[in-house]
Amino acid sequence: MSIRDGTAGAAGLDPGREAREAAIRELLPGSGAPLGETLAAVRELVEDTTFPTVHAWRQEGGKVLGHFQVYFPEELAHAAGMLPVKMRGGTVERREADSHFGSYICSVLRTTLELALTGRLVPDLFVTHPICDAARNLAGIWARNLDVPVEILYFPQNPNSAFSADYLASEYLRVLEDIEDVAGRRVSTDDLRGSIRVFNENRRLLRALYRIKREEPWKLPVDEAYVLMAVGGIIPREQHNALLSELLPRIQERDARRQDRMRVVFEGGFCEQPPLDLLGAIAEFCYVVDDDLMIGLRWILSDVPPHAADPLAALAGAYLEQSSYSPVQHDLRKPKEKMLLERIRGSGAEAAIVAAAKMCEPGLDEQVAYSKALEEEGIPFFLTEFEEQMRNFSHLQIQLETFVENHLLFGETAATGGQR
């Protein structure tokens, strides 16, 4: 396994990058704009299913790597000068995709394909992962219906194997070679190191964002925190870093009054994402102090060694040894129930909202295990299901309000079933 040494490459010598980033910068309020105006603009970008930031990048000659949930080492695309874009579906009417997937398939698979079939989000390279039985067929369906190169990244099925790190580094090298072919340039060791530094800074800023949620959640509701994180999946990471660096201090300075609300952990947003209005409905009754929303953007929990002799090995090691958890990774060292309990205790949460996307086999399976563990620990929890296309949340709000009041007034620890 080897990466070309030297300094020439995408990270240091990309004359078109500045123009591409300038085109995207025009879509966001300038530095110093009112905080509310900036947050509203960011939310609009996250919810816009025409993906103006991605189109602005491409109009300036840039290429795009789209990757499906849950995790992808975006440093590989960044080092090649491509824009890594998180393919997370969207609230669109499914006219084309439903003819390729059965009705029993989760929404995010179908809407991701719909966005591509209708020309709204067509990457230059699509990378997917066999995270479940349904997603296992996504690459084949894309390849048959779209003129887009498709690659499957296979993560170790047994992360506890002594050979898993070497295997994963070789997988990263294999995918990187395809990325180089599409990008039309070679990636050097220094390119990768430069990208790791950029993403280390992003991980630091996202940790700071979640620290505000944990320590002063009244200053940052879950729906606002979500859009600040999710926009990183559709803009260059340098711009995301600049945005967070400007806004986080201003959020901490907010004159927001603490209210008597339950502190909860939201679990179940690892793949398909709940509608923003659903998160807003939860924020009316609870402080969400931690969650697994868009966990792939925060999968690596600490810095990847930026000066490693082999950056691919460093990234592979980080995936295995410095990572979060999700129902689609089966690591015996990270039992999901234990990790959820640690998330709850580490954030000082009083209860959990255990959600699952409709038709999501991994998520629904974990609900059973999570419920049992929470019951044994006497931790209140609220069970619910969601789908991207949901529009009415009144029933869920009533049930959630009842759950919160029962806990705050009567100290009940029994589970409550939410909207299904």
Residue 90 has pLDDT above 70, yes or no: yes
**Lowest-pLDDT range of 8-17, 37-46, 377-386:** 8-17
The answer to the question of residue 7 being in a domain is no
The answer to the question of residue 298 being in a domain is yes
Query: For the chain, what is the mean pLDDT?
Result: 91
Mean pLDDT of 134-141: 90
The answer to the question of residue 1 being in a domain is no
The answer to the question of residue 330 being in a domain is no
* Residue range(s) defining the domain that contains residue 283: 17-323+336-417
Backbone angles phi, psi at 199, to 5 degrees: -75, -30
Note if the bond before 227 is cis, omega within 30 degrees: no
Each residue's pLDDT tens digit, 286-333: 999 999 999 999 999 999 999 999 999 999 999 999 999 999 988 999
- Percent share of the chain, pLDDT over 70: 94
Q: Where are the alpha helices (DSSP H) in 216-360?
A: 222-230, 237-252, 276-283, 311-321, 336-346
**CA–CA gap between residue 300 and residue 325 (Å, rounded):** 10
The answer to the question of residue 79 being in a domain is yes
- Count the alpha carbons within 13 Å of 164 in the hemisphere toward its beta carbon: 16
The alpha carbon dihedral of 174, 143, 149, 274 has a sign of negative
**Residue 287, helix vs strand vs coil:** strand
Transcribe 359-395 into DSSP letters.
Answer: T-HHHHHHHHHHHHHHHHHT--EEEEEE-TT----HH
Q: Total structural domains in the chain?
A: 1
Terminal Cα distance for the chain, rounded: 49
DSSP state of 309: S
Residue 156 has pLDDT above 80, yes or no: yes
CATH code of 179's domain: 3.40.50.11900
Cα–Cα–Cα angle for 113, 115, 119, rounded to 5 degrees:
115
**Lowest-pLDDT range of 41-50, 303-312, 361-370:** 361-370
**Lowest-pLDDT range of 1-10, 11-20, 247-256, 350-359:** 1-10
Mean pLDDT of 178-206: 97
**Lowest-pLDDT range of 171-175, 278-282, 359-363:** 359-363
Instruction: Note whether 243 and 283 are within 8 A (CB).
Output: no
Mean pLDDT of 351-373: 93
Range from 92-96, 310-314, 325-329, 384-388 that averages highest in pLDDT: 310-314
Residue 419 has pLDDT above 60, yes or no: no
- Percent share of the chain, pLDDT over 90: 77
Q: What is the pLDDT of residue 406?
A: 81
Alpha-carbon distances, residue 20 vs 52, 86, 156, 229, 241 (angstroms): 12, 18, 35, 21, 16
The answer to the question of residue 116 being in a domain is yes
The answer to the question of residue 5 being in a domain is no
Backbone angles phi, psi at 377, to 5 degrees: -90, -5
Q: What is the pLDDT of residue 420?
A: 41
pLDDT band for 101, please (50, 70, 90 cuts). Answer: confident
- The pair of structure tokens assigned to 65 is 């790597």
Alpha-carbon distances, residue 196 vs 74, 231, 260, 297, 323 (angstroms): 9, 19, 41, 14, 15
pLDDT band for 102, please (50, 70, 90 cuts). Answer: confident
Q: What is the pLDDT of residue 8?
A: 47
Mean pLDDT of 35-52: 96
pLDDT band for 11, please (50, 70, 90 cuts). Answer: very low
Residue 175 has pLDDT above 80, yes or no: yes
Q: What is the pLDDT of residue 91?
A: 87
Mean pLDDT of 209-232: 97
The answer to the question of residue 368 being in a domain is yes
**Lowest-pLDDT range of 101-105, 139-143, 380-384:** 101-105
